[in-house]
Copies of this chain bind each other. A is one copy, B any other.
Amino acid sequence: MRFSEYLAAQRQRIETELHGILPSEATPPEVLHQAMRYSVFAGGKRIRPLLCVEAARVISEEVAGIERAACAVELVHTYSLIHDDLPALDNDDFRRGRLTCHKVFGEAMAILAGDALLTLAFEVLANLPCVDSERRARMMGELAAAAGSCGGMIAGQVADLEGEGKPPEPGRLETIHRAKTGALIRASVRIGGIYAGADGEQLAALSSYGEHVGLAFQIVDDLLDVEATSETLGKTTGKDAARKKITFPAVYGIQRSHELAEAERRAARQALECFGNRAVRLAELADFIVYRRA
């Protein structure tokens, strides 16, 4: 199967699983569940769950139910977008070409929808049917640490807010992105590995892959904000610069940022060498992350 076909098929399985996980819009409180579904089904690329599923498949062929665990990561990602977009934080009206959650449902509902998605992510992992409690508890610990305030996503969000208008230094840039996007992407890969029973060495290789791919993802994200048109990207472009955010192009320039992304892509692939042919899809995902146009 070609990578593009595989990607479409795997995404479809994740969409189906997400539909099963999210409470129906007819379940009270209806408007909250509508808000949660509005943001989860807003055309995300599902990169994190894809990474989770493929990391698991590298370790074992017996990973029935892995999509459900992978969706937990996507729920955390979606919650973070909803809260980031709030007026008190990034104050974004559009994301992926659609109005942001608070623009449609109001601030109160957007705050609560984010809270509910974060909570649901842990409920999903706690109750996974196909994996033992030891692995479930470990996956929850991974997710919480990656989403948390000590080097995790929330730490990155605070550093990002505090960094606005500060000098674009490489050290600050790395600190922000290692936490803000890197930690959850790394955790996506590790959660897949844990689900499939990876040993310490395998988990270390997956972590290295996750770190490189996470950094590559962020560099490309920053570049797309500069280079892509608003139409392609579905959100206002050039906003990072307008807000004086610390970005890779701001620190290194566009050409050097492209080179850095390429270097991270190669390093990510290199981390997979110990897995041989079994890691083909994971390697292709690294390419996809770097060569995407939106």
Contacts and interface: CB of A to CB of B under 8 A. Distances in A.
Contacts of A116: 148-149, 154
Interface string A83-116: 1001011000000000000000011110110111
A136 B107 CA distance: 34
Contacts of A132: 133
B141 A127 contact: yes
Contacts of A123: 141, 144-145, 148
A173 interface: no
Contacts of A115: 79, 83, 114-115, 118, 154
Interface in A224-238: none
Given A111-B88, A115-B83, A133-B133, A126 B155 contact: no
Given A29-B149, A133-B137, A157 B112 contact: yes
Nearest to A144: B123
A88 B79 CA distance: 17
Contact of A112 (B32, B140, B158): B158
Contact of A29 (B118, B134, B155): B155
A162 B122 contact: no
Contacts of A126: 137-138, 140-141, 144
A43 B275 CA distance: 54
A188 to B, nearest CB: 16
22 contacts: A29-B159, A31-B162, A32-B154, A83-B112, A83-B115, A86-B108, A89-B112, A108-B161, A116-B149, A118-B118, A119-B144, A119-B148, A122-B122, A122-B143, A123-B141, A123-B144, A123-B148, A126-B140, A126-B141, A132-B133, A133-B137, A133-B138
Given A83-B111, A88-B108, 12 more contacts: A32-B155, A33-B149, A86-B111, A89-B108, A89-B111, A112-B158, A116-B154, A118-B118, A120-B148, A126-B138, A132-B133, A133-B136
